[in-house]
Amino acid sequence: MNHRKRLAASLTAAFTLGVGLVATAPQALAAGYETDRAIRTSANPNYEAPGWWFQGAGPTGHGGGVVAFQSNGDKWWVADTQRDGKSVAVRWKNFVNGSLYREGVCINSNSAPSWATCNKNYREDSTIWASTCLYDGDTGTYSECNLLGFRFRVSDGRTV
């Protein structure tokens, strides 16, 4: 009986110690998901300048919105161009040395027609993969995502 009590106490201590180690594991090892609501702006970006990337929503890029990335300042520009009751979003993944570092979404829920922006701060030595989608805020679902997506360098917006 005494042996069972010692075994139970040892297992309890080991379990408690293990849970404590798991609970205090560093959060920096896992990429977090960032959700940003874009801020409406009256400006229309000049995305013909160097350092810009842009893509339309929909499987072929002809959906109800356009997203642009401005590499000088790490700013997403999101345009809702169609009065369809849906928002426009850019879903992005940020990679450093080929590994996922951060990921998230920037959503323009300001109704069409509107431009809105999300300011980010990406590492200059990183790359981004992004895809433009429509977003239904009532159900939390994405649709009409651009099937191609796009991969580019943060530093200058050029393709990788």
**Longest CA–CA separation in the chain, Å:** 80
Is the distance from CB of 70 to CB of 81 less than 8 angstroms? no
CA distance 45 to 30: 33
Per-residue confidence (pLDDT) for residue 95, from 0 to 100: 96
Q: 131 vs 46, which has greater pLDDT?
A: 131
Per-residue confidence (pLDDT) for residue 147, from 0 to 100: 82
Per-residue confidence (pLDDT) for residue 3, from 0 to 100: 39
How far from the centroid of its chain's Cα atoms is residue 91's Cα? 5
Q: 134 vs 17, which has greater pLDDT?
A: 134
pTM over 0.85: no
| 29-33, 44-48, 62-66: which is most confident | 62-66
For range 98-126, the mean pLDDT: 95
